[in-house]
């Protein structure tokens, strides 16, 4: 299993070099852990932003978009139950999210609102 290298992104965004290096280290550590445990951890945008220490959300967005395009990570839109906060459905894009979903955690129909949505990132290949 090859490690994730973000050297090209460090060269394209030199002001974010330290944050990109932190993200690269995190992703490679997660890849190693996932290979051993079989579990693929998921992170929200905010969690990655805090962990890596990017100077702006926009800078992290650029890096994550590149990693999604390369197939290194997956981006999913998760509908969360307002009653428990747990996920009730994952979708590839915002356009794929239906207007209503069955909240199996509360056993009722849920009209999806922005408050019920969370963007999740996880490693693509473990």
* pLDDT for residue 100: 96
20-71 residue pLDDT tens: 999 999 999 988 988 888 888 899 999 999 999 999 999 999 999 999 999 9
- Position 85 pLDDT exceeds 90: no
Q: What is the pLDDT of residue 40?
A: 86
pLDDT bin (cut points 50, 70, 90) of residue 120 is very high
Q: What is the 3-state secondary structure (H, E, C) of the chain?
A: CCCCCCHHHHHHCHHHHHHHHHHHHHHHHHHHHHHHHCCCCEEEHHHHHHHHCCCCHHHHHHHHHHHHHHCCEEEEEEEECCCCCCEEEEECCHHHCCCEEEECCCCEEEECCHHHEEEEEEECCC
Question: What pTM does this model have?
Answer: 0.84
């Amino acid at each position: 299993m090859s490690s994730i290298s973000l050297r090209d992104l460090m060269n394209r965004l030199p002001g974010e070099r330290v944050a990109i290096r932190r993200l690269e280290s995190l992703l490679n550590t997660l890849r190693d852990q996932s290979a051993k445990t079989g579990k693929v951890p998921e992170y929200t945008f905010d969690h990655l932003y805090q962990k890596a220490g990017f100077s702006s959300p926009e800078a992290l967005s650029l890096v994550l978009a590149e990693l999604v395009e390369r197939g290194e990570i997956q981006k999913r839109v998760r509908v969360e139950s307002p009653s428990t906060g747990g996920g009730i459905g994952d979708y590839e894009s915002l356009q794929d999210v239906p207007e209503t979903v069955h909240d199996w955690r509360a056993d009722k129909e849920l009209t999806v609102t922005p408050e019920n949505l969370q963007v999740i990132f996880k490693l693509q290949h473990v």
